[in-house]
Amino acid sequence: MSPSQEIGATIPNDTAHAVSVTLPTWEATVGYEEGEEWVVSKMKSGYPRFFIHGIIQELSKNIETKYGREGEKAMIFPSYKVAKRCRDFIKRYSQSGNNVRILQLSTPPPMNEDERSFIIESNIGVCFFHEEEWPIAKQYWQHSGEGISSRMGEYLLRELFQKEKTTRKLATLKQELQVQRIQRKSPSLSKSFSSTQEEVDNEYFAFIEQKFGRVLDLKFALEAKRALRRRICGKADKSRNQIEELEKSKRGKSLSETDVYLLPSGMNAIFTAHQALLQLFPNRESVCFGFPYVDTLNILKKWGPGVLFLGFGDDKSLDELEEKLQSNSISIAGLFCECPSNPLLKTPNLKRIRSLADKYDFVVVVDETVGNFLNIHVLPYADMVVSSLTKVFSGDSNVMAGSLILNPKSSKYTQLKHYFTTEFEDIFWAEDALYLERNSRDFTERSIKIDQTTLETVELFTKSPLISKVYYPTLSASKSYYDNIKTANGGYGGLFSILFHDPNDAICFFNTIQLHKGPSLGTNFTLACPYAILAHYQELDEIAQWGVDRNLIRISVGLEDKDVLLETLQLGLDKAAAQHT
C-alpha cells in the first residue's frame, strides 16, 4: 500500500493504534504547529504523547460525565502513583491547582481460566482538575510519557462502560452458535451437543479475536514481558572488539533480565531514570550533554534543582564540564546523553564521560535509541541505558514502549537496584507487551537491512549539489567515538538529516517525495519530517545556536526495496533542481 498523502491519516495506513500521523507537506506541518483549522480539524491520529487518542478521549468523557464535577476535566493514568505525580506537577505549576483530586478505578479480574484469555485486572488513577489546568496536565502527559496507551483505553472503555452490553452480545452469540451447530449437524440433540461444544467454543473465541484484535491471549502477557526482557538483555550485554578490554577490566556479575525494566514509552524510561536520581541525590543538578530530543531537556528542567545544558555535546563541552566539576561550582547527580544524538547524529565521547563520572561521582544515563544495541555497545560506559522500543525494536509503528537497563557492574548499581526494587511499578500494558514481543522477533534482520540501505541513501545526498550538509555518524567529526562503541557486526543506524543550500529546495523536495511523512523514527517504512519545524517550531531561533537549522529534514530509512527508495528520493531532488532551470 502506497503512503497516504492525506492530512491527519494514520501512519501506517488504517491502523487503529498507529504511532505516527501524516503531515504530507511543509505547509501542513507549519499549519499543524500554528493550530490552523485546515490541518488540526483533519487530525485522526498523532504521536501518542502529543495527541491523545480518540479512544482515550471517549473514555475520559465517560468518566467526566459519571464521576466529574462541574468544570472538571479528567486525565487517566495506569496507576494511583502516576496520577499522584501528575497532581503534584499541576499543583507546582498552577496558580489554582489545589483542587486537583484523584479517583481510583478498577476492572475485575478473570473469573475462570477461559476469561484469562481476554480479561485482566487493572487499576487506574484518574486525575480531576479544573479545565483551566488542562495545558499543565497535558505537559505532564507529554513529558513523562506515562499516560495510558490507546489499547489500555480501549480495554477500560469496554470494561467500565460497555461490558454489560458486550457480555449480553457474547452470551447471545454463544447460544446462537450452539443452537445452529446442534440443528445443522445432528439428528440426535444430546449427541450433537457433546460433539460440537468444542467447535462452538472455538468460534466464540475466534469472534473475541476478531472483535478485539488480540495478538495472543492476555494470559501470556507475563511470558511476553519476560521474553522481551531476555531479548533486550541478550542484545545489550555482548562484549565485542574495541570494548572487550573494558569489559574484562570490570568486576561483578553479568547483565540479567532482572536488570531490564519495561516502560510505556522511551520518554518514560528517561523520566524514570531522572526520578531515581532525584530520590538518590535530591540536591544535585543534572547535565544534558548534546542537543537532545525536546522532552529530555524538558524533564531535566521541570523536575529537580536544575540542569546544565551543554548543547554542542563535543570535547569543548566536556572541558567546560570538567572545569566546573574541578572548581566545585556544580555538583551533579547524573549526565544524560543520546548516542548518537537526534537529529544531528553526534556521538559523545563516552570513554571520557565515564572517566569524569568515576572521578566526580555522578551517574551516566545513555539513550541509545538512535544507535540501537545491535549497532553500539554503550553499557560499559553507562550506569543506566534507556531506549525507545517504539522505534526500530518494534518497527511496526503500532505500539509505544521503552526500556531501562541497570548496569550490574556500575559502582552505583546497589543504590539504583534498591531504588528500583522498592519503587519501580510495572505500568506497561499487557496487550502492548504482546504486540511488542511479536513485532520485535525479527529485530536483528530488519536492523541489518536498514543499516545497509541507509549507507547508500546517505551517499545519494552527499553527491547532490543541492545539499549543503548531511548529518550521519560516518560523516560526523565524532565518528571515532561511534567506532569506539560500534559492535563487530554493527552498522551506523537508519537515521540521518539533510540540509539544503536553498530553503525553497528543501520545501520542494519534501513536498514531492512520495513517502510517509510525519513524526517518529525507526519504522519499517521510510519516514521523513521537517524536524526543526515539527519539534521546535516555537524556538527556531534558539535552537539555531546549537547547530539545528530551521530547514533541516530528518529521514528514517525503512525496509523498502533499496532501488525503489533511491529512485523516489532522486525524483524529489530532481524536482527541486528543476526550480533553478
Whether the upstream peptide bond of residue 12 has omega within 30° of 0, thus cis, is yes
Of the chain, the percentage scoring pLDDT greater than 90 comes to 83
Report, as an integer, the average pLDDT of 490-508.
98
CA 489 to chain centre: 25
Could you tell me the three cell numbers for 150?
490507546
Task: Say what the alpha-carbon torsion angle 2, 35, 499, 25 is, to the nearest 10 degrees.
Answer: 30
Per-residue pLDDT at 334: 98
Ordered structural domains, the chain, with CATH? 20-153 (no CATH), 219-441 (3.40.640.10), 443-578 (3.90.1150.10)
The answer to whether the CB of 74 falls within 8 A of the CB of 68 is yes
Check residues 45 and 73 and name the one with the higher pLDDT: 73
Cell, residue 511: 513536498
Which contacts of 162-171 are long-range, i.e. CB under 8 A and separated by 24 or more positions? 170/204, 170/207, 170/208
The pTM (predicted TM-score) of the whole model is 0.90
List of residues 6+ apart from 198 with CB closer than 8 A = none
pLDDT band at residue 197 using 50, 70 and 90 as cut-offs: very low
Structure-block grid coordinates of residue 523: 519504522
Cα–Cα distance, 361 to 415 (Å, whole number): 13
Q: What is the pLDDT of residues 527-550, one digit of tens each?
A: 999 999 999 999 999 999 999 999
pLDDT in tens, 547-568: 999 999 999 999 999 999 999 9
Neighbours of 108 (CB within 10 A): 12
Q: Tell whether the torsion through CA atoms of 327, 331, 336 and 339 is positive or negative.
A: positive
Q: What is the pLDDT of residues 284-301, one digit of tens each?
A: 999 999 999 999 999 999
Q: What is the pLDDT of residue 44?
A: 86
Summarize pLDDT for 227-270 with one digit per residue, the tens. 999 999 988 765 444 444 444 444 346 899 999 999 999 999 99
